[in-house]
Chain A
Amino acid sequence: MIEPKNKNKLTFATIEVNAGLKKAIALSRADIIGELKESGMKGRGGAGFPTSVKWNLAAAAKGEKKYVVCNADEGEPGTFKDRLILTDYADLVFEGMTIGGLAVGSDEGIVYLRAEYTYLVAHLEEVLAKRRKDGLLGKDILGKKGFNFDIHLHMGAGAYVCGEETALIESLEGHRGEPRNRPPFPVDTGFNGKPTIVNNVETFAWAAAIYAKGGAWFNGLGTEKSTGLKLFSISGDCEFPGVYEFPMGITVADLLKEVGGSEAKAVQIGGASGHCVPAADFNRAIAFEDIATGGSIIVFGPDRDLLDIAENFLEFFCEESCGQCTPCRDGNPKLLEGVQLLKKGECSMQYLNELLSLAETMQLASKCGLGQSSPNAFVSIATHFKAEILGRTGKAMQGGK
């Protein structure tokens, strides 16, 4: 397996492993969460919930047993930065989880790893074994009496929806990965009904970095509402695909310049569940207050047929919908049919508008993030590229590859 060289240097490479844990271990629980609060970090999975708030709620929740869960079910199309973090910086992830355990009062961490990444298991087990040997996991960690914490891996079994935190918990409990109604939230009623924090791989790694370098350092980077740095998985029609680190708030145009993709006619930001951003909007910023993303960036060159892309994403959602709620289960096949009609040039504007109205219903009425976001790509393509998608006469005219 060939691992491409990072095109820009990641901050993770400069962080001294365990420096953050050593610092956190000397702090009170309130001060640990305070440091995270100062950093202003929002969850790196893409939903953008402030991590310190999540930790604080779990810390305040009553219960002897609590869990720290690392969401390593990286399944969003176009995302691969968690794979790189787990390969190169697993220590930082486990360190972040350990600090999380300290902050919320948990003694058990679980990494929910997607089945597709089974080849990482041996490496991760090795890192865990070394940490146990070095007194960084187990009983009385780093000599702190009563601070017990250990981490084990739990394998997923191939279901995209399990990246949604309540579906992930259902899966951990041995059920179908069907999202739960919220509230109650996992911080209160999580795995086995116990208070649980579920954070993304990257979030835990940044947490370790934040304790090593200070919350103020992180807060000074990025934008006011989206602090800090973020990893991006960049693929598609660009010269240098790979994992990049940029401060939050970078514009789409600047990002494209870095990766050699300035000719793009559109960029898919946020994976299949994200938005297709047209060239006219490349001055917009990638940040929670503008275009939010978990880090998936797919670049589309001038020759790409956007209906092929919408079709691919909708096929994905038809298959990955858990089937629990109607808008998502029945809506996605209807949208897919619509895209296929558009491809054949047999879709009227009236019908397209009906599809857009259906998409809105799905966004409003679906139970979880999967169904709520599955129409996004279709809606943005249908909104921004009407001239390209309507009135097709046949294959030769499409201009696609």
Chain B
Amino acid sequence: MLVTERDRMKDQIYALADQLGRERSSLIPILQEVQKAYSHVSSFAMQVIADALGIHPVEVNSVVSFYSFLHTEPKGRFVLRLCRTISCLMNHSEKVAKQLENELGVKFGETTPDGKFSLEYTNCLGMCDQGPALLINDKIYTHVTPDKVHGLIEECRAIFGVHAMQQKEGH
């Protein structure tokens, strides 16, 4: 039987709701799982989550829009978050910012056209003694200098290559 993407997502969300509990307190954990799987929380996903928890979809939207690590638009496979807090700035994070834009060809707040990289600022990453700090997905990099930026992005591309191959083999 042909299963559409939407049906699959719906099943997944209901399974998550059963696993994590259908209480309001499960909302953020469910959102985090959905985002992990689909790189964003779509309007459709928000509607299904609302149905599963028995709340209004606007409630779900209000939560998604509040938190900076939840988003309604697809992000790149790698989300690069540069710390813009003062200690990192004092260690010249603005130069790292410039070089990130140069290497990726996009500005902060944008995603590369190939969907691989999103570039964002974030607030204090708790690496103030080792700045500038950069978070790539869940991995933290410290003492980042402009000359290291290219290598970090290449590292991501290499991981992406492997990942894409594995996915292909899996099907």
Contacts and interface: CB of A to CB of B under 8 A. Distances in A.
B102 to A, nearest CB: 22
Given A4-B129, A119-B140, A79 B68 contact: no
Q: Is the interface of A mostly helix, strand, loop or mixed?
A: mixed
Interface of A: 1-2, 4, 74-80, 82-83, 115-119, 154-160, 171-177, 192, 233-237, 241-243, 268, 272, 298, 304, 308-309, 312-313, 316, 319-320, 322
Contacts of A322: 66
B129 A233 contact: yes
A80 B127 contact: yes
A176 B63 contact: yes
Contact of A177 (B25, B27, B67, B128): B67
Nearest first, the 6 closest Cβ-Cβ pairs linking A and B are A158-B69, A174-B27, A157-B67, A235-B128, A241-B129, A158-B68
B24 A173 contact: yes
Nearest to A172: B25
A79 B69 contact: no
Contacts of A83: 126
A75 B124 contact: yes
A312 B86 contact: yes
Contacts of A74: 126
B123 A75 contact: yes
A87 to B, nearest CB: 11
A177 B66 contact: yes
A110 to B, nearest CB: 10
B28 to A, nearest CB: 6
B85 interface: yes
Interface in B111-146: 122-131, 135, 138-143
B61 to A, nearest CB: 11
B167 interface: no
Nearest to B30: A174
A159 B68 contact: yes
Nearest to A177: B66
Contact of A159 (B24, B67, B124, B129): B67
Contacts of B86: 77-78, 236, 268, 272, 298, 309, 312-313
Interface of B: 23-29, 31-32, 62-63, 66-70, 84-87, 89-90, 122-131, 135, 138-143
B145 to A, nearest CB: 13
Contact of A116 (B28, B62, B122): B122
A80 B133 CA distance: 12
Contacts of B123: 75, 77, 160, 316, 319-320
Given A115-B69, A176-B66, A236-B87, A1 B141 contact: yes
A313 B84 CA distance: 10
Nearest to A297: B128
A172 B29 CA distance: 10
Given A176-B62, A176-B63, A309-B86, A117 B126 contact: yes
A4 B68 CA distance: 29
B140 A1 contact: yes
Contacts of A309: 86
B87 A76 contact: no
Nearest to A243: B129
B125 A116 contact: yes
B69 A157 contact: yes
Interface centre among B27, B89, B125 (most CB of A within 10 A): B125
Contact of A2 (B27, B31, B63, B142): B142
B67 A298 contact: no
